[in-house]
Structure 1
Amino acid sequence: MTGQDPVTGQDPAARPDPGPAGAPAPSLQRRLLAAALVLILGALVVAGLAIGLILDRFVRGQLDARLDAQVAALVAGLEPGGALRLDRALDGPPFDRPGSGWYWQVRRGGAALRSGSLSGHDLALAAPVPAPSENRPRPADGVGPRGEALILRVLVLPDATSVAASAPRAALQRPLREAGLALAASLGVLGLCLAAGAVAQVRLGLRPLDRLRRDLADVRAGRRARVPEAQPAEIRPLSAEVNALLDQNAAQLAQARTHVANLAHGLKTPLATMGLVLSDPARDPDGRLARLVGTMDRSVRHHLRRARAGARGGAVRARTPLAGPLRDLAAALERLHADKGVAVTVAVAPGLAAACDPQDLDEMLGNLIDNACQWCRGAVRITAGAAEPGIRIAVEDDGPGLDPEAMARAARRGQRLDETVPGHGFGLAITTELAELYGGGLDLGRAPLGGLMATLRLPG
């Protein structure tokens, strides 16, 4: 719950954690996307191989079935007896086109019957003719008369008659290639869709974390006091722990502020009083005691300032609206100075808020308004508005005002410009110290009303 970096002036929450040795911080989103893309790619490769194998078996099965039908027709067309003849012509398309690769051949000993597509050539098998089988063709490879690769189905009958039918290997490879191209395109489109879905899913799934980050930024900036409890089930324990930490931090800050306030009241006023008493030369002829008291006062104020700044390490998240406190203080001080007939007017821009503790804001504004009411002739005007890099609150009066030298002395602790006016001379100095603790300040100048104008600058 810290503010800006005192060295770089940057917001630590806005800078990514460089990780060890300056390495970039690991990204949960990139890790999830990489895992999803690897799994999608692996699934697509496995699916492509499986579908390709299924297509190969399907196309090969269709081709084998066609060749087996041709072999069965040839076996059925063989005339019984010793001569090797067919009782009908079996050169239907595509077995009638020479050089097409669609061939058939029936061989018994030295006699052979051939399809017209062989043009009198023999069908050479790449392996020896298999032994007679149980009336079922077997696969084989061969080469056509033009050297083309063939897919064959061969059936050897009990009388050693071999019946073979072939198809060009391109009849298997061409459909597989065309189907493979279509399959690759389909899987590519599917992969892109799945990748887009994974990106959308990861971003949608991590959106609650981004919303939690914005909620924490709002807490740190003072726009909200706690992280909303309405979170997804997986993030709800984290938000509950963060809220518990915020509550514990607030309790510790309140305790620290109490101790600091007690110490401030216990030391600052007595030391200041001693300094005023010892300012009389008759009481401290050589000024040694006054110097010691001054040293003690500076040391106490230095350590109190550090303690209060440390206690406010998380107070930057507290933003206090201005309209309410200004109007309440103006009304209270008008009643307090009713015998003087003071009229206090307030003009505050809508929605204006100061990034500081409400008690400190009341103390600063109370000092300035009370000082203006004491020195005015009858009118005090308060205006507040936005100004880079925060807000600006101007308190002016129509009193006699101060010259530049008196303005410089008025901001010092214990300096009273008029002994007839009640007070100890600490108001403007305390206001200046508090404003500087929050990164602001106090400026004194001539008011348009004719008196003093005190301009308080605070972070917004």
Structure 2
Amino acid sequence: MHAGSLRTRLLVAALGLVTVALVVAGLAIGLILHRFVRGQIDGRLDAQITALRAGVEAGALPGALDAPPFDRPGSGWAWEVRRGTVLARSASLDGGGIVAPDPPDDEPGRPRPAEGRGPRGEPLILRVLDLPGDPPTTILAAAPRAALRGPLREALTSLALALGILGLCLVGGVLVQVRLGLGPLKRLGADLAAVRAGRRARVPAEQPAEIAPVVAELNALLDQNARNLERARGHVANLAHALKTPLATLAMVLSEPGRDPGGDLRAAVGAMDRRVRHHLRRARAAALAGSAQARTPLEPRLADLRDALAKLHADRGVRIDLAVPADLAAACEAQDLDEMLGNLLDNACRWCRGAVRVSVERAEDGVRVRVEDDGPGLDPEAAAAVMARGRRLDEGVPGHGFGLPITLELAELYGGSLRLGRSELGGLCAALSLPA
């Protein structure tokens, strides 16, 4: 877990509060248990004092009040009656005496707590009753301090075990609570990743109330970016039609014999065309920057193009075979993908003898579309030549010579490539690589 993560902060805060709560609860319960056990001992000693007082007021020495445990020597449970000198003491003192503090100057007649020592110096818990008279009478009842510590130790041991189990349960509950509480944020991250990968257009609006405003702002931002992208693409397309086509036409006219004897105009037009294409490429790349949400399935696009071109070349009996997995998609805008695939398929249909084959496979860097035909094909020098704008190898075939260069330019814009080679059918094989 990252030190600055929400999960860490929540866990540290919750564990700290649980620890403080358990410590406070342990101290409070321990104090209550101490008061309870001490109250039980004081009640037993007060009962003994009451019996001794009754005997003293009746004028009889209370020697017969040595009930267990006051009758066992060394037990710590003892009593003593004093009136100037010791009148009587329990058999447990074995002839010794109780060392008690001097009486306070408060009102006599009620037992009071005190601390004392036994005959062997052992610590005792005392209850002392001072009766007025001449001389005054003092009745002491004692219990060993172990009578308080022993039950408390056993009770606190059980309490500590119970609090430990409770703490573990609370920690487990905190872990579950943090996991459940941060679950929507984790799902939000997955939804954003899906939007970035193109599997979703927007983040689902069904969110907890706390993050619903954030999701609404994210969706508004996505919608705004999509609108800006569409406007930018429209401007770029308009500029491309306004500049590129006239320049290409001018270059073709100047290439005719006698039009530009020195070649200066053709060089200038070529430089202008390169600069226009360079800046258009930069503008289009800027429009597409950050638009990783483009994801266009290949199978339906190729199926539509096959149907359209099959009708267009029906008089020649061209057969177009497709081998396209339904789950493959390219990270391209639909319009650009249609233009690239359309150029390649149309070129194959124009030059084939009757068969065109389109296959799509997954590659390490994306997807690869192979368009093959059974036409005459091209040698390496001719394949390089047809990539030049406006260059046509056969003027008898309809066209302007821009299809393959435009396809190459679009493919490179998306980080892909276009390679020409020999097909297994005997003709040309155009391999178009695109990001997935």
Which residue number in structure 2 is paired with residue 46 of structure 1?
Answer: 24
TM-score by length of 1: 0.91
Q: Cα offset for 1:182?
A: 1.3
Contact 1:48–1:183 (8 Å) recurs in 2: yes
Which residue number in structure 1 is paired with residue 97 of structure 2?
Answer: 122
Query: What do the CA deviations read for 1:325-346 (whole angstroms, capped 9, x no partner)?
Result: 1111111111112222211111
1:220 equivalenced with 2:196 (yes/no): yes
Mapped partners of 1:307, 1:455: distance in 2: 26
Mapped partners of 1:38, 1:26: distance in 2: 17
1:416 maps to which of 354, 368, 392? 392
Which residue number in structure 1 is paired with residue 428 of structure 2?
Answer: 452
Which residue number in structure 2 is paired with residue 141 of structure 1?
Answer: 115
1:207 equivalenced with 2:183 (yes/no): yes
1:195/1:415 CA distance change after superposition, 3 Å: same
Contact 2:82–2:88 (8 Å) recurs in 1: yes
Which residue number in structure 1 is paired with residue 205 of structure 2?
Answer: 229
1:204/1:275 CA distance change after superposition, 3 Å: same
1:158 maps to which of 116, 132, 136? 132
1:109 equivalenced with 2:110 (yes/no): no
Query: What do the CA deviations read for 1:384-438 (whole angstroms, capped 9, x no partner)?
Result: 1222221111111110000011111112222211111122211111101111111
Mapped partners of 2:222, 2:70: distance in 1: 88
Counting only pairs closer than 5 Å after superposition, residues 375-454 of structure 1 correspond to structure 2 as 375-454=351-430
Mapped partners of 1:55, 1:329: distance in 2: 86
1:111/1:209 CA distance change after superposition, 3 Å: closer
Mapped partners of 1:345, 1:446: distance in 2: 18
1:41/1:132 CA distance change after superposition, 3 Å: closer
Mapped partners of 1:74, 1:131: distance in 2: 23
Q: Where does structure 1 lack aligned partners over 5 or more consecutive residues?
A: 1-15, 17-23
Q: What's the secondary structure of 1:243's corresponding residue? A: helix
Mapped partners of 2:93, 2:268: distance in 1: 125
Mapped partners of 2:187, 2:171: distance in 1: 24
Partner amino acid, structure 2, of 1:295: A
1:346/1:111 CA distance change after superposition, 3 Å: closer
Query: What do the CA deviations read for 1:1-56 (whole angstroms, capped 9, x no partner)?
Result: xxxxxxxxxxxxxxx9xxxxxxx772111111111111111111111111111111
Contact 1:77–1:88 (8 Å) recurs in 2: no
1:448/1:111 CA distance change after superposition, 3 Å: closer
Q: Cα offset for 1:88?
A: 5.2
Which residue number in structure 2 is paired with residue 357 of structure 1?
Answer: 333
Contact 2:63–2:88 (8 Å) recurs in 1: no
Mapped partners of 2:185, 2:74: distance in 1: 70
Q: What's the secondary structure of 2:289's corresponding residue? A: helix
Mapped partners of 2:390, 2:29: distance in 1: 92
Q: What's the secondary structure of 1:316's corresponding residue? A: coil
Partner amino acid, structure 2, of 1:121: G
Mapped partners of 2:249, 2:378: distance in 1: 25
Q: What's the secondary structure of 1:401's corresponding residue? A: coil
Q: Cα offset for 1:280?
A: 4.2
1:91/1:132 CA distance change after superposition, 3 Å: farther
Q: Cα offset for 1:231?
A: 1.3
The root-mean-square deviation of aligned C-alpha atoms, in Å, is 1.7
Contact 2:80–2:86 (8 Å) recurs in 1: no
Mapped partners of 1:37, 1:87: distance in 2: 59
1:247 maps to which of 212, 218, 223? 223
Mapped partners of 2:3, 2:114: distance in 1: 61
Mapped partners of 1:222, 1:132: distance in 2: 88
Mapped partners of 2:127, 2:429: distance in 1: 110
Mapped partners of 2:171, 2:3: distance in 1: 24
1:195 equivalenced with 2:164 (yes/no): no
Counting only pairs closer than 5 Å after superposition, residues 300-339 of structure 1 correspond to structure 2 as 300-339=276-315
When the two structures are aligned, how many residues end up with a matched partner? 434
Which residue number in structure 2 is paired with residue 19 of structure 1?
Answer: none
Mapped partners of 2:105, 2:337: distance in 1: 107
1:97 maps to which of 68, 72, 77? 72
1:343 equivalenced with 2:337 (yes/no): no
Q: Cα offset for 1:131?
A: 5.3
Q: What's the secondary structure of 1:123's corresponding residue? A: coil
Contact 1:131–1:156 (8 Å) recurs in 2: no
Mapped partners of 1:79, 1:134: distance in 2: 16
Q: Cα offset for 1:94?
A: 0.9
Q: What's the secondary structure of 1:98's corresponding residue? A: coil
Mapped partners of 1:432, 1:253: distance in 2: 22
Q: What's the secondary structure of 2:292's corresponding residue? A: helix
1:25/1:122 CA distance change after superposition, 3 Å: closer
